[in-house]
Chains A and B, each alone.
Chain A
Amino acid sequence: MPIKAENIKYIYSEGTPFRTLALDNVNIKIDQGEFVGIIGHTGSGKSTLIQLFNGLESATEGRVEVDGILVGEDKKKLKLIRQTVGLVFQYPEYQLFEETVAKDVAFGPLNLDLSQEEIDVRVKEALELVGFNYNKIKDASPFELSGGQKRRVAIAGVLAMKPNYLILDEPTAGLDPAGRNEIFHQIKKLHERSNVTVILVSHSMEDIAKLVDRVIVLYKGKVHMQGTPKEIYSEADELERIGLGIPQIASIVRELRNRGFNIKQGILTIEEAKEEILKEVKRRNV
């Protein structure tokens, strides 16, 4: 079953000079098992949107449905919705607090009236899903880990709630390239191995291009474009107009095309760009 957002309007600071229409007539459907990227400039409504998905915020107008449950209709169901839609905030390592990694990951499930066995199983599964060796990591202090490892522990804490949807808000902000690759490699594997739907909010066009099946572009509170990464990043000029960029590879391709170099559009990897450039160079030398 999907997450559905229909005709969403979200207004904050209503009745003040700072009244802002953060979301305006947004319609989005995200199906079970998808890997979706959400991009948009700061203030485009991304964070508001994902908070609507798990009931942290409620829309001024419109409806959000999660696996058939209308968000906000029944307050008692909010707990279930927050379990179904796991949200990993920015800088989630600041939320780690327990003495050991295993205890930290167990904190959520402990609040779910589960048996100790079930909790242990979930903690082990969750840590393995983000690429840890359970026995090696379980007794470590979360505070001794590297930046990338801390984030993976925080993500495991959300996975231990067994969500159908995992929303990650800028999961690699502030990490070095190796930490970034580590997180994305694990998220990709996680998506392949489990049936969890992943919704990734990111400013990194390179990462979105590499990972997701579908990109949703928000601009000034509206869904501005939707499509595969190839489709979206072919619209380089438009993306730049609305304050976003394109992966560097896509800008190389665009420049070459503008200069009459015969190379196809929609290239997003170094490998593909290499092949295409070699073909054209050969053609020119014949």
Chain B
Amino acid sequence: MNEYIIKIDNVKFKYEKNSDYAVKGVSLNIKEGEFTAIIGHNGSGKSTLAKLINSILLPSEGRIFVKGMDTSDDTKLWNIRQTAGMVFQNPDNQLVATIVEEDIAFGPENLGIEPEEIRKRVDDSLNTVGMYEFRKRPPHLLSGGQKQRIAIAGILALNSDCIILDEPTAMLDPSGRKEVMETLKKLNAEGKTILLITHYMDEAVQADRVIVMDKGNIKLDGTPKEVFRNIDEIKKYGLDVPQVTELTQELIKEGLNLPSDIIEVKELVDILCQ
């Protein structure tokens, strides 16, 4: 097996001949089973990068491999999209059927899979995202968090190894966001590779690895702790750090002896209450 499920090799991309590069020479390898969050300001190139991986866009220069398949090779297009499925921001733009289970079956049906196998995949995927009991419902009557879980189930039904999500929680309320994050963590624990694009720093801290993009380049790449301790640099890129990280650094400036890489509430509380 390939150790890296996604290999991005010095990729540049521009939307039009005369425009600037939206992605300027990015190299990035993603391991199978990794949970990676990509953060960056609007226009930093993170959504473009996701579309490049999914072969919706093709690199102007450089190459991308998904499970060893070159995204520029159009005979591999469907294999690539099946391997790395995408979930978008607006749940209403990606559900196609009038009944939940038909929506999930849409992908496998297009692959010509046997009806019994489709039935099994639909049920399994709905169970995985905790939406089985809603299988007969019309999707438009579900909450935002539920709709995104249906979109995720639609990808699971294709047996994708990797799920790429472009701001899947931007339109959701706090409990909807929690539902989606819990679903992603569960899938990751079961071995799926997750690539999450988000503007929410509290979601990024839950990943194994955080990548910060700015103006088409990767600026920081590391564990959440390694990345978020660089408060000033992150703010310079138009981003934020979790409030707990900022508070900790303020307390350090006032002379308290605390580690500078605190990213979760519990860590700070544990140390202060020692």
- A residues near B (Cβ < 8 Å) are 18, 40-43, 90, 146-148, 170, 173-180, 203, 205-206, 243-245, 247-249, 251-252, 255-256, 259-261, 270-271, 273-274, 277-278, 281
Contacts and interface: CB of A to CB of B under 8 A. Distances in A.
Given A248-B244, A255-B265, A176 B174 contact: no
Given A42-B145, A147-B42, A176-B199, A252 B173 contact: no
Nearest first, the 3 A-B pairs at minimum CB distance are: A178-B238, A243-B175, A245-B174
B269 A270 contact: no
Contact of A173 (B170, B239, B243): B170
Given A178-B238, A243-B175, A245-B174, 6 more contacts: A175-B42, A177-B240, A180-B199, A256-B272, A261-B273, A278-B254
Contacts of A179: 41-42, 238
B13 to A, nearest CB: 19
B176 A42 contact: yes
Contacts of B254: 274, 278
B247 interface: yes
Given A42-B143, A205-B174, A148 B42 contact: yes
B243 A243 contact: no
Interface of B: 40-44, 89, 141, 143-145, 167, 170-176, 199, 201-202, 238-240, 242-244, 246-247, 250-251, 254, 256, 265-266, 268-269, 272-273
Contact of A273 (B143, B145, B242, B247): B247
Contact of A277 (B202, B238, B251, B265): B251
B43 A247 contact: no
A179 B199 CA distance: 11
Nearest to A206: B243
B216 to A, nearest CB: 15
A48 to B, nearest CB: 15
Nearest to B178: A245
Contacts of B145: 42
A260 B273 contact: yes
B167 to A, nearest CB: 6
B251 A176 contact: no
Contacts of A203: 172-174
Q: Which of B173, B247, B265 has the most CB of A within 10 A?
A: B173
Contact of A146 (B43, B240, B250): B43
A109 to B, nearest CB: 29
A174 B170 CA distance: 5
A243 to B, nearest CB: 4
A146 B247 contact: no
A271 B246 CA distance: 10
A274 to B, nearest CB: 5
A177 B239 contact: yes
A248 B43 contact: no
Nearest to A44: B173
Contact of B41 (A170, A178, A252, A261): A178
Given A203-B173, A259-B269, A248 B251 contact: no
Given A18-B141, A252-B268, A274 B250 contact: yes
A34 B7 CA distance: 53
